[in-house]
Structure 1
Amino acid sequence: MKLKKILAAMLAISISASMLTACGTKEPEVNNSTEQNSGTETNNEDTQATNDRTLYPGTAEANAITVNITSEPPELFSVTTTDTTSFSVIRHVIENLVMLDENDKVVPGVAKDWTVSDDGLVYTFNLRDNMKWSNGEPVTANDFVFAWKALLTPEFAADYAYFGYVFKNGLAYNQGEVGAEELGFKAVSDYVLEVTLENPTAYFLDTLAFGVFAPVNEKAYNEFGTAYGTDSDKMVYNGAFRIASWEHESKIVLEKNPDYYAADQIELEKINFVMINDTNAALNAFKAGELDLTNINGEQAALMKTENFPVLTYDDGSTFYLEYNLTDSQLANANLRKAITYALDKQAFVDSIVKNTSKPAVSFTAPAINGLSKKFNEEVGSLVPTVDVAKAKEYYAKALEELGVDTITLSMICDDTDTAIKNAAFVQEQLKVNLGIDVQVESMPFKSRIERMSNKDFSIVFAGWGPDYNDPMTFLDMFETGNGNNHTSYSNAAYDELLGKVRTELDLNTRFGYLVELEKQLMEDLPIGPIYWRSRDYIYSGKIESGVIRTAFQDMNFKYVKLAK
């Protein structure tokens, strides 16, 4: 009974998952971070009092919207995908066991209902029997078993494999210690899926809405092999939409899936995702009636407000930071990492580059994440300064002495969007002026930057991370030794031990105490240097009446958009 009460309490504070819909985010293609607001007409004070969008009526195509996603999705194979853009597309074409509603609450997806054992370890999902893939195959429990086994199979090299450690024997299977028959999930029948967890996990249902837990049709995967998810005809769909075409580096066209079980709730016949990586070009396209929705930067938001056009703002839950590659002999030096982090004026970055309600990051975990009794970032407090040049110079002097050099030259990679290049230039100038460090900047397409990070082929990268679910672990477990998303190669035995304690601790006060310790340890070692917590400004045309969902846990969800009549 005591255990049941503890589990109930944990569930009460658990909130929703997504995928930045977390996950690795694009370098701020718009200038943006913070306080969770949904894009469903419930945005903060930056939204204009008027809701009149008739000044820009939008695109002419009937029953369709055109949305700027800025960059090419690197891939759309849910097992190995890691970035927000890809997961945003996947959300529209693949249905998970559960999904999130407009308030980021878990709702039925492929699973029509489920039960949970008294000890919180066994979940039994009853699946809908009227769903099918676009290749005609029925959607069954086996599609989840196949996908989740792939996630944990080392040959797939999934960066998110650690998400599967929540299942009984997930880690043991990933490390080759047990066979697949001992994994904690199985198809009891075609439409009944049984899941056993390694430990009671309050936010487990929330994580199931995240893209890496999407089903994969085994027949289709076997047909396409490693090309799965690389083109519109190299994958299959069970969601509200199907990908009709994919013009790489240009456009992805989604068309309504007539076989979707809730097709009668989907009004849109088509969504055009276009890739315009220049903010001025995107705004011009919007004004010309070629876009219905686009992100905008702070200067553009001010401009639109002078036209009395509604600007919406939401906290996308992301932290942006400098990621240091600790295999670099210079950046392996902790004092150098501290010098760089302390030398950057984060408030000046927000004021001069971002120019919106984003906030300087004085810890890592973003303000969208709940803590024990308030937001987690409030509970940990300020762990790094917004800037401290004097202290930075002290750390830099120590680093030079320890490294036995007189000067240091570094390299940094970033995206090739106009805003990303401005961000990198800011860092470059700050380190030159405040420390005398020369930084060589290399810009590249988003897809290439993600690949370089995965291969650890960088010294410093301007990167971002958004939440996959609403718990501090969505940020903090990334830096576990060997984690697929730990591009820094950071390794700390004490940190890993604390993570293990968090995963098994049922007392909430003790658990969140461990989480605070983790945050403090991370900000002491600084394998990453926090810069800012992102808010995003965006606009949509008069063609859209309602239904735009944009939150920290659903970066883009347009499935239920209603068009103006």
Structure 2
Amino acid sequence: MKSKKWLSSLLVATMVGTSAFAFVGCKDKNPEPAQNPGTDAPKPSETVKKDADQFLKLVFIEPSTLDPNEASDVDSFTIINATQEGLARVKVVNDEDKMEPAGAKSWEVSPDGLVWTFHLRENNKWSDGVPVTAQHYVDSFLRLLDKDKAFPYAYFVYEIKGAKAFNEGTGKKEDVGVVAKDDKTLQITLDRPTPYFEKKLNFTAFFPIRLDVIQKGGENWNTDHTKQVYCGPYKIKDWVRNNSISFEKNTDYWDAQNVYIQRVEMNDIQEFSTQAQLFESKELDVTGARQEYIEKWTEKAKKGEFVAGVGDTASSNYVGFNNEGGPSGIMNNKKVRLAFSMAFDREEYLKTLLGRYTPAYGWIPKALHSNKDMYRTVTKEPLKDMATDYVNKPEKIQALLKEGLKELGKDTSDLKNIKVKFVTYGDTAASKQSQEWWEQQFEKNLGIDLQMEVLGNYTLWKQAVDDMKFDIITYGWVGDFDDPINFLDMWVSNSGNNGLKFKNEEFDKLVNDLDKEVDPAKRLKAYQRMEEILVKEDAAFAPLYYGDTRRFLQNYVKDFMYPKFGPTYEWRWAYTEGR
């Protein structure tokens, strides 16, 4: 999103209770950021009787990378957020994200809004004893923008002076507006006033790095926890791939005395029924929920047995189409993609498979603001009326499909000859049920031959997606900060997060023009036009549902937080009392 945060595949939706998730403003491998159900819990103080043994047992989150510059999925963001720290950190207060000074103890902004000066903490150091300096931040920004490395979040800092030009190869790194004035003073100069710049300060792209450690670590540094140094509240103690990951408190952290949880254990739990049993027996401290458990546990929470967290999240899931054509060679046609967007019943999907969420006929989720208004309350969903006319009407959907196929010069006499590849992964009961549902929907409504390719794990699936070896996937995005641009600028032609290879000149121009637009009404109008292009006019993808949270915690877990933007979990301030 963070990703931004992305959802990895169609089965993610069915597995949301078994994995903490989202691309953060990221790719969402498992969607589940949320409001914090524990914000009303007592705050740590001398009068609170915290347990002598402070630990948490959570569901497994596996990062794709430990590299702050490379990270593009919410699982990686969550783990990196726990083990590293940037200029600021988000703390949930009264169910709202609040930016807290972290690696920087303070900052000020020039009157014109362009020059940001950050004063770093004197006692901040890495776990090997090396002080964290302003140059470590400068190194991070320049590495993020290195064109040859092609990091997906390079565009995220384009408001910095000279950043875009350097990243695109038309400028020099010396002209990028990030300077270490001294060891503890970082100065960032923007190309233009950016109202939401401060909202980005907690994002991993803004984290410091150690070039010496990266160089020494070699090719697998980004996935080997034994080669890391840490400046966050926790260190990775052990990591067994596809199985478990554990953390221990970083005693060298600048605020270690106010970090209470000593260790965190995350274990993979394939079936949600097993996860539910562990939670009910208090062998699991935090869980998501789906289908029949939502109602059951909500009632238990009302009786005081658990603590429940319910609310909308800044996340959207979608069915993605290969805009270059895909293995079938047909997904590069707008009408074909729109037909696929109309070929499934969103309400039935949620009712049958998930028992939660809100069906989406637009892209911007319910939790985002445009200026002072909630975006969805002032903007009609672009696909709502069309879906009413088309969904569950095979003849009408197939007529639209044939129009697109004829434009491609394809034979439409027998749609069964059209073979379309849907790439996913997972072999749990829930994921298999989901795969069968998609096959039935697309074959019934489109009359095509849907070929479901189920890969062995997320890594294989991600490689297939990166190689564009798909016609259809499911994915998701979780916001990095509270503005619709965070869900829109990822789709510009040259964005590293534009995994569907969508291209539209008008769309690119709208995004570029917003760089200089500060009028809220004009920005809203541009957002609405871009959303219309994405999901209806060009149908780059098909919106599936808007995210929400259904989280449950044991009563003894205090101040365990779910930021709306950034990591899925934040336990830096958490503690247990009365386990």
TM-score (norm. length: structure 2): 0.86
Q: CA deviation at 1:301?
A: 2.0
Higher mean Cα deviation, 206-215 or 33-42? 33-42
1:116-138 per-residue CA deviation (whole Å, 9 max, x = no partner) reads 11111110111111111112211
Residue 461 in structure 1 maps to residue 473 in structure 2:
yes
Q: 1:392 aligns with which of 380, 388, 397?
A: 397
Alignment-derived partner of residue 6 in structure 2: 24
Alignment-derived partner of residue 314 in structure 2: 317
Alignment-derived partner of residue 405 in structure 1: 411
Question: Counterpart amino acid of 1:231?
Answer: D
Question: Counterpart amino acid of 2:319?
Answer: L
Q: 2:56 aligns with which of 65, 73, 82?
A: 65
Q: CA deviation at 1:74?
A: 1.4
Assess if the C-alpha contact under 8 Å between 1:37 and 1:314 holds in 2.
yes
Task: Give the gaps of 5 or more residues in structure 2.
Answer: 18-29, 43-50
Alignment-derived partner of residue 383 in structure 1: 382
Q: Secondary structure at the match of 2:270?
A: coil
Alignment-derived partner of residue 487 in structure 2: 475
Alignment-derived partner of residue 424 in structure 2: 414
Assess if the C-alpha contact under 8 Å between 2:233 and 2:572 holds in 1.
yes
Q: 1:519 aligns with which of 523, 531, 534?
A: 531
Alignment-derived partner of residue 494 in structure 1: 506
Q: Secondary structure at the match of 1:538?
A: strand
**Are the structure 2 counterparts of residues 371 and 35 from structure 1 closer, same or farther at C-alpha, using a change threshold of 3 Å?**
farther
Question: Counterpart amino acid of 2:444?
Answer: V
Alignment-derived partner of residue 268 in structure 2: 275
Q: CA deviation at 1:250?
A: 1.3
Assess if the C-alpha contact under 8 Å between 1:245 and 1:252 holds in 2.
yes
**Are the structure 2 counterparts of residues 33 and 234 from structure 1 closer, same or farther at C-alpha, using a change threshold of 3 Å?**
closer
Residue 560 in structure 1 maps to residue 538 in structure 2:
no
| Structure 1 residue ranges (4+ consecutive) displaced by more than 4 angstroms after TM superposition | 31-36, 305-309
Q: CA deviation at 1:349?
A: 1.3
Assess if the C-alpha contact under 8 Å between 2:202 and 2:566 holds in 1.
no
Residue 365 in structure 1 maps to residue 364 in structure 2:
yes
Q: CA deviation at 1:520?
A: 1.4
Cα distance in 2 between the residues matched to 1:521 and 1:397: 21
Residue 426 in structure 1 maps to residue 437 in structure 2:
yes
Assess if the C-alpha contact under 8 Å between 2:2 and 2:72 holds in 1.
no
Q: CA deviation at 1:468?
A: 0.9
Q: 1:107 aligns with which of 77, 94, 100?
A: 100
Assess if the C-alpha contact under 8 Å between 2:80 and 2:204 holds in 1.
yes
Question: Counterpart amino acid of 2:341?
Answer: T
Q: CA deviation at 1:289?
A: 4.0
Question: Counterpart amino acid of 1:456?
Answer: M
Count, aligned residues: 530
Cα distance in 2 between the residues matched to 1:270 and 1:529: 41
Residue 83 in structure 1 maps to residue 88 in structure 2:
no
Question: Counterpart amino acid of 1:470?
Answer: D
Alignment-derived partner of residue 542 in structure 2: 529
Cα distance in 1 between the residues matched to 2:176 and 2:298: 54
Q: Secondary structure at the match of 1:144?
A: helix
Assess if the C-alpha contact under 8 Å between 1:380 and 1:519 holds in 2.
no
Q: CA deviation at 1:552?
A: 4.6
Matches within 5 A, 1:50-449: 62-69=53-60, 71-102=61-92, 103-305=96-298, 309-310=305-306, 311-328=308-325, 329-356=329-356, 358-385=357-384, 386=387, 388-389=390-391, 390=393, 391-403=396-408, 404-406=410-412, 407=415, 408-416=418-426, 418=428, 419-444=430-455, 445-449=457-461
Higher mean Cα deviation, 473-482 or 408-417? 408-417
Q: CA deviation at 1:517?
A: 1.4
Alignment-derived partner of residue 484 in structure 1: 496
**Are the structure 2 counterparts of residues 423 and 319 from structure 1 closer, same or farther at C-alpha, using a change threshold of 3 Å?**
farther
Q: Secondary structure at the match of 2:473?
A: strand
**Are the structure 2 counterparts of residues 36 and 260 from structure 1 closer, same or farther at C-alpha, using a change threshold of 3 Å?**
closer
Q: CA deviation at 1:373?
A: 3.8
Cα distance in 1 between the residues matched to 2:459 and 2:549: 21
Q: CA deviation at 1:550?
A: 4.6
Calculate the aligned-residue CA RMSD, in Å. Answer: 2.4
Assess if the C-alpha contact under 8 Å between 1:34 and 1:367 holds in 2.
no
Matches within 5 A, 1:532-547: 532-547=545-560
**Are the structure 2 counterparts of residues 233 and 174 from structure 1 closer, same or farther at C-alpha, using a change threshold of 3 Å?**
same
Percent identity between matched residues is 26
1:15-44 per-residue CA deviation (whole Å, 9 max, x = no partner) reads xxxx4453213422226989963333579x
Task: Give the gaps of 5 or more residues in structure 1.
Answer: 1-18, 44-50, 52-59
Question: Counterpart amino acid of 2:336?
Answer: L
Q: 2:520 aligns with which of 505, 508, 516?
A: 508
**Are the structure 2 counterparts of residues 61 and 134 from structure 1 closer, same or farther at C-alpha, using a change threshold of 3 Å?**
same
Assess if the C-alpha contact under 8 Å between 1:39 and 1:550 holds in 2.
no
1:192-225 per-residue CA deviation (whole Å, 9 max, x = no partner) reads 0010112211111111211122111122112113
Q: Secondary structure at the match of 1:177?
A: coil
Alignment-derived partner of residue 37 in structure 1: 35
Cα distance in 2 between the residues matched to 1:411 and 1:137: 50
Q: CA deviation at 1:378?
A: 2.6
Assess if the C-alpha contact under 8 Å between 1:365 and 1:472 holds in 2.
yes
Assess if the C-alpha contact under 8 Å between 1:76 and 1:86 holds in 2.
yes
Q: CA deviation at 1:553?
A: 4.1
